[in-house]
């Protein structure tokens, strides 16, 4: 009897083991289908206050877990983590690709957390619509997961059939629909279960969004500036921005105002070149060390002999303004600070430096969106040209201009951007120091270009190719000069040459009246 019982149990045991393996395989297939579906399911477009916003899910990756932040993508500039943390492994991704001029949409971007009560009545429908879009996306996600699960089964069965041969294929061909449906249903069940974990928290969090500060929480949002200065009708083009546009370190202005002195503007600044080339009234409002919140949208402190008003506030007082040229971003991300740090360490391609840069870019993205909103709503509706940043390095790195005059007598190996006798060779320095800095600059320029495009603005990125710091004719100031890596007079001329074609196209010279004395 014992042997007979064992004989009768073995087939049952094998059958149970087979069913367990099949179930485990279906669950693994369902999990795979869920991950693939999250990555490929198209977002659900929703319309809020005239703006098309897409609601999707954060793609699976290293950050996946039971809780975590969602992602907001502002005007094609890349992801910014949301301040909200969502329960469940499937978390929202909000994509706002373009900005259409709309007072309520502007209020959504401009409102700071403390000002929420003033805008809640206007913008509360944004959160409700995002929440409904999220629920619609989850329904779409479950359907896509079912399709992916069925396809994954077909692919897996085909591969197994190739390995096990015709007999296995013949046996499973007798009931082809049942396992196919099982794979699809299990995939949908796994996805629906994961979605159920996040439905309640995500819907509540999204429904409470009434401003960009509620969604991102990554930057101190700046209130829009008030008009500054008396109305002026003699200015057609204004340049706003930082030290690159101010032209620091070049020939002083012959009769500078207190504001010119405070902002260190020079006669070689590209605004002066544009004025000479066009004959238009061009006002240079750019200021050394300016950032968006301290200089453009807010007052810029620590300037002498006067504290200049917010540059965008001055723009609102220019009644004949037809074009605005913008150079901003380097100070916002601390480019000079990062450049100095990178020159003094052996390498700056480490994860800590890269994460610092990305966190600063996140903050800049939000405030850059605010700036673009303000420029889009200027009274005269001027054309806007955003100017990117040039690569100052070039291809050679062994020249007096690149040597730090403040370097210690016996610098540590890897100090600076030029090779040292006992340090790494130049190719290593380029890979570990120069290329990371170029990458940071490229990321900043991508944000500038994509943000401008989303608002319908133009953008240019000047090229200093062949005129880096160690070239025979450099367009940047050397490290022994007061403003290293800033454009010299030739560099300012090159920036003007990049801007001028766009300026003439977007803001053509008005037709002159005929028959006048």
Query: Looking at the domain assignment, is residue 221 inside a domain?
Result: no
CATH of the domain at 250: 3.40.50.1110
Residue 62 lies in a domain: yes
In terms of domains, do 447 and 491 share one?
yes
Which of helix, strand or coil describes residue 81? strand
Whether the Cβ atoms of residue 301 and residue 291 lie closer than 8 Å to each other: no
The token pair that represents 41 in the structure block = 């399911």
Residues 493, 357, single domain; the answer is yes
Residues 408 and 498 in one domain: yes
Interval 249-278 mean pLDDT = 96
Give the pLDDT confidence score for residue 204 in this predicted structure.
80
pLDDT at 245: 98
Residue 95, H or E segment: strand 92-96
Q: Are residues 122 and 258 in the same domain?
A: no
Query: In terms of residue numbers, what domain contains 437?
Result: 237-506
Residues 112 and 174 in one domain: yes
Asked if the structure places residue 248 within a domain, the reply is yes
What totals of helices (H) and strands (E) does the chain contain, helices first? Answer: 15, 10
Query: Do 43 and 112 fall within a single domain?
Result: yes
pTM: 0.74
d(CA 264, CA 242): 10
Using the 3D structure, point to which of 156, 180, 215 is the last residue of a domain: 215
Q: What is the pLDDT of residues 339-358, one digit of tens each?
A: 888 888 888 888 878 878 88
Domain count, the chain: 2
Residues 264 and 344 in one domain: yes
Higher pLDDT, 150 or 275: 275
Structure confidence at residue 115 as a pLDDT band (50, 70, 90) = very low
Residue 290 and residue 158 share a domain? no
Is the pLDDT confidence value at 517 over 60? Answer: no
The domain boundary, picked from 215, 249, 275, lies at 215
116 is a domain residue: yes
Q: Does residue 493 share a domain with residue 435? A: yes
The answer as to whether 14 is a domain residue is no
Average pLDDT over residues 479-498: 95
Tell me how crowded residue 474 is: count the other CB atoms within 10 A of its CB: 22
- Taking the C-alpha atoms of residue 278 and residue 273, their distance in angstroms, rounded to an integer, is 9
Closest CA to 289 of 219, 324, 337: 337
Q: What is the DSSP letter of 480?
A: T
pLDDT of residue 153: 79
Higher-pLDDT residue of 157, 209: 209
Nearest to 361 by CA among 390, 385, 338: 338
Task: Count Cβ atoms below 10 Å from residue 177 Cβ, excluding itself.
Answer: 7
pLDDT > 90: percent of the chain: 36
Does residue 13 sit within a domain? no
């Amino acid at each position: 009897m014992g042997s007979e019982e064992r004989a009768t149990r073995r087939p049952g045991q094998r059958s149970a083991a087979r069913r367990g393996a099949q179930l485990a395989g279906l669950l693994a297939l369902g999990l795979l289908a869920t991950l693939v579906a999250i990555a490929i399911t198209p977002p659900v477009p929703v319309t809020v206050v005239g703006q098309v916003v897409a609601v999707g899910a954060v793609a699976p990756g290293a950050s996946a877990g039971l809780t975590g932040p969602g992602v907001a993508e502002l005007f094609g500039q890349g992801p910014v983590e949301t301040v909200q943390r969502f329960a469940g492994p499937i978390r929202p991704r909000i994509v706002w690709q373009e900005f259409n001029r709309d007072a309520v949409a502007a209020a959504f971007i401009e409102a700071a957390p403390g000002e929420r009560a003033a805008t809640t009545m206007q913008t509360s429908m944004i959160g409700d619509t995002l929440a409904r879009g999220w629920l619609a996306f989850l329904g779409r996600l479950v359907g896509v997961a079912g399709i992916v699960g069925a396809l994954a089964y077909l692919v897996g069965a085909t591969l197994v059939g190739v390995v096990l041969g015709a007999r296995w294929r013949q046996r499973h061909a007798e009931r082809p629909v049942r396992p196919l449906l099982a794979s699809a249903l299990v995939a949908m069940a796994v996805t629906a279960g994961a979605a159920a974990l996040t439905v309640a928290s995500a819907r509540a969090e999204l429904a409470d969004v009434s401003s960009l500060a509620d969604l991102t929480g990554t930057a101190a949002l700046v209130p829009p500036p008030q008009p500054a200065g008396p109305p002026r009708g003699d200015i057609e083009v204004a340049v706003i921005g930082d030290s690159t546009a101010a032209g620091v370190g070049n020939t002083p202005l012959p009769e500078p105002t207190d504001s010119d002195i405070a902002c260190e503007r020079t006669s070689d600044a590209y605004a002066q070149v544009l004025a000479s080339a066009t004959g238009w009234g061009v006002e240079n409002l750019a200021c050394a060390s300016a950032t968006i919140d301290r200089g453009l949208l807010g007052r810029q402190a620590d300037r002498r002999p006067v504290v200049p008003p917010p540059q965008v506030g001055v723009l609102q007082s220019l009644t004949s303004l037809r074009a605005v040229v913008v150079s901003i971003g380097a100070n916002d991300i601390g480019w000079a600070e990062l450049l100095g740090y990178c020159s003094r360490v052996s390498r700056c391609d480490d994860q800590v430096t890269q994460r610092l840069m990305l966190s600063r870019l996140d903050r800049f993205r939000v405030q850059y969106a605010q700036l673009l909103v303000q420029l889009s709503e200027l009274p005269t509706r001027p054309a806007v040209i955003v100017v990117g940043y040039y690569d100052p390095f070039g291809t050679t790195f062994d020249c007096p201009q690149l040597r730090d005059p403040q370097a210690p007598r016996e610098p540590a190996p890897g100090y600076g951007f030029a090779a040292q006798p006992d340090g790494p060779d130049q190719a290593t320095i380029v890979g570990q120091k120069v290329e990371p800095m170029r990458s940071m600059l490229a990321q900043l320029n991508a944000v500038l270009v994509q943000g401008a495009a989303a608002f319908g603005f133009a953008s240019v990125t000047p090229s200093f190719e062949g005129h880096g710091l160690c070239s025979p004719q450099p367009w940047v100031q050397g490290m022994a000069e007061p403003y290293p890596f800033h454009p010299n007079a030739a560099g300012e001329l090159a920036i003007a040459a990049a801007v001028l074609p766009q300026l003439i196209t977007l803001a053509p010279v008005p037709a002159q009246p005929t028959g006048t004395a």
